[in-house]
Amino acid sequence: MIKMKELPYPLDALEPYYDRQTLDIHYNTLYKGYVDNTNKTQEKLSKAREKGNFENIKCLEKDLSFFGSGVILHELFFENMGPALPTSPSTSLMEQIIKDFGSYEKFKEQFTESSKVVEASGWNLLVWVPEFKKLEILQCEKHQNLTLWGCKPLLVLDMWEHSYFLQYKTKRPEYINAFWNIVNWNEVNRRFAIAIL
Ligand SMILES: [Fe+2]
């Protein structure tokens, strides 16, 4: 059984950039749903093994990838946001950003533009790719499609409509611009330091 991770700040801590109601629904209803459904799927897989009945195995493996990835990405998302305090990339992360994107501004521009055009329901991610020893930006469809195997997500932005529609309606660029004010770089720096070990 997996359990919900605690939200590391109060529900109104991200205002005005991310409002209380949106965060409440996102965390307490939607994220909870992914946790519950991951547990249900794991139970069903356990029963299938007990009974030796793998009739629904294709569906169950897909569900595990979808719901489980939903859990993981939402936890990363909630943790890589925080109250609008001045945090910034660490020296080592900034050096890597400059090496791989040319400058912080170019990284931010690529991340922003990539986020704007995530198709339908998906995510935009800054990842460390150990195989390439390089930072990359990836789009993800749903929670699990399109990835570079083995990559370590460092900074993720939820581009599902449920993540912004209540507050920003169809104005995706405004949501993305607001997000930059509440990125918790301390958490991103921590993930980067572990990822490059
Ligand atoms: Fe979400």
The pLDDT score that the predictor gives to residue 86 is 87
pLDDT at 139 over 90: yes
Share of the chain above pLDDT 90, in %: 97
Question: Pick from 105, 144, 130: which is nearest to 113 by CA?
Answer: 105
22 CA distance to ligand 1 centroid (A)? 10
47 CA distance to ligand 1 centroid (A)? 29
The answer to pTM > 0.85 is yes
Domain C-terminal end among 79, 100, 128: 79
Cβ-contact 97, 174 below 8 angstroms = no
Do 73 and 119 reside in the same domain of the chain?
no
pLDDT for 37-95, tens place per residue? Answer: 999 999 999 999 999 999 999 999 999 999 999 999 999 999 999 999 889 999 999 99
Do 154 and 67 reside in the same domain of the chain?
no
Do 70 and 153 reside in the same domain of the chain?
no
Got the DSSP string for 95-130?
Answer: HHHHHHHSSHHHHHHHHHHHHHT--SSEEEEEEEET
Do 72 and 101 reside in the same domain of the chain?
no
| CB contact set of 74 (below 8 Å; sequence gap of 6+) | 26, 27, 30, 31, 34, 158
Do 175 and 148 reside in the same domain of the chain?
yes
Average pLDDT over residues 183-187: 97
pLDDT at 129 over 90: yes
Residue 5 within any structural domain of the chain = no
CATH of the domain at 39: 1.10.287.990
Euclidean distance between CA atoms 184 and 88, whole angstroms: 8
Residue 127 C-beta-side C-alpha neighbours within 13 Å: 21
88 CA distance to ligand 1 centroid (A)? 24
Do 111 and 154 reside in the same domain of the chain?
yes
Confidence of residue 14 (pLDDT cuts 50, 70, 90): very high
Number of H helices, E strands in the chain: 8, 3
The token pair at 45 is 């897989």
The pLDDT score that the predictor gives to residue 132 is 97
31 CA distance to ligand 1 centroid (A)? 7
Residue 158 within any structural domain of the chain = yes
3 CA distance to ligand 1 centroid (A)? 17
> Other CB atoms closer than 10 Å to residue 79's CB: what's the count?
18
The pLDDT score that the predictor gives to residue 137 is 98
Residue 15 within any structural domain of the chain = no
Structural domain range at position 146: 91-195
Q: Find the helix packing angle between 104-116 and 91-101, rounded to 10°.
A: 70
The pLDDT score that the predictor gives to residue 83 is 96
Residue 85 within any structural domain of the chain = no
Cα Rg of the chain, angstroms: 18
Of the two residues 120 and 159, the one the predictor is more confident about is 159
The DSSP secondary-structure symbol of 136 reads E
Do 102 and 180 reside in the same domain of the chain?
yes
Euclidean distance between CA atoms 140 and 73, whole angstroms: 10
Do 141 and 59 reside in the same domain of the chain?
no
Domain count, the chain: 2
Do 137 and 184 reside in the same domain of the chain?
yes
Residue 181 within any structural domain of the chain = yes
Do 97 and 190 reside in the same domain of the chain?
yes
Residue 7 within any structural domain of the chain = no
Cβ-contact 155, 75 below 8 angstroms = no
Do 132 and 96 reside in the same domain of the chain?
yes
Do 102 and 184 reside in the same domain of the chain?
yes
Residue 120 within any structural domain of the chain = yes
The pLDDT score that the predictor gives to residue 165 is 97
Average pLDDT over residues 127-146: 96
194 CA distance to ligand 1 centroid (A)? 25
CATH of the domain at 157: 3.55.40.20
Average pLDDT over residues 33-37: 98
Residue 3 within any structural domain of the chain = no
